[in-house]
Amino acid sequence: MRLVLASTSPRRRDLLARLGVEPARVADPAIDETPLPGELPRAHALRLAEAKARAVERAPDEIVLAGDTVIALGRRVLGKAENEPELRGMLGLLSGRRHHCLTAVCVVDASGKARTRLSDTIVAFKPLNGAEIDAYVASGEGLGKAGGYAIQGRAEAFVRFLSGSHSGVIGLPLFETRALLAAAGMPLG
């Protein structure tokens, strides 16, 4: 069995290595990640993970793994911060508040059957002052990241509480991923 990682995220590849898994190849799923009208955050994350897994061509001896991370503030999906004003706005929204980091994982096995799991982690940020937001925005670390932050970097210092999967907040919940790969017939140590 060969694994195809349907993600160009170096973090997902690093997290897979923690399971002792090296993808045979990496593919960019290149899908539209815009939420559908009225789509709730959980459904959005699950839909995108499966869409990414299905968007990648799979040979008969390959398993495809894809994931999607969504930051949910109530029913609102905070996407990826594409520029500094968006990043600043997202940090302001998260300041002093709890939010959900939803990471969906989808594995399509050799027969074409898709299995998905969702990791829901509650994260609470400390109240951020203007200087902290300015410094984080200047670092550029949050650009292109769901919710405008990378917990594996400087933003970890903003987290006053976390309940759930730390690896899920980074982008690939290892417990759920391992279970899905095992169910798909991937040999794991």
What is the token pair recorded at 36? 């559908």
3-state SS assignment for residue 163: strand
Residue that the structure tokens 């417990």 belong to? 175
Are the CB atoms for 31 and 52 separated by under 8 Å?
Answer: yes
What is the token pair recorded at 23? 């993808």
Give kind and range of the element (H or E) at residue 35. Answer: none
Catalytic residue among 68, 109, 120, 134: 68
CA-wise closest residue to 5 among 118, 106, 116: 106
CA distance 98 to 7: 28
Are the CB atoms for 12 and 5 separated by under 8 Å?
Answer: yes
CA distance 67 to 117: 10
For residue 68, indicate whether it is catalytic: yes
CA distance 171 to 13: 10
- Could you tell me how far CA 51 lies from the centroid of its own chain? 14
What residues are labeled active site?
68
